[in-house]
Amino acid sequence: KMLADRQLTPRPEVIAYLVSRMDRSFAAAGDLVERLDAASLAQKRGITRRLAAEVLDNADGPAR
């Protein structure tokens, strides 16, 4: 829902990948969607499994 609210449409397998690895809270989901959107825009590419992995790997790293 949060992805759709931002008009982001990753493939179903990307969503499955994210759901199996993300923290399960509303706040964490919102933060993840925000970071995915920002990374997608900055890199001028769609939300792929690779981009999702990069964003998840950098969750505890430096600021966006």
pTM of the model: 0.85
Distance, CA of 64 to CA of 38 (rounded, Å): 8
Nearest residue to 21 via CA among 2, 45, 49, 41: 49
Domain positions in the chain are: 2-57
Note the pLDDT of residue 61.
Answer: 52
Parts of the chain with a pLDDT under 70: 60-64
Nearest-5° angle of CA 24, CA 30, CA 32? 80
Note the pLDDT of residue 60.
Answer: 62
Note the pLDDT of residue 59.
Answer: 77
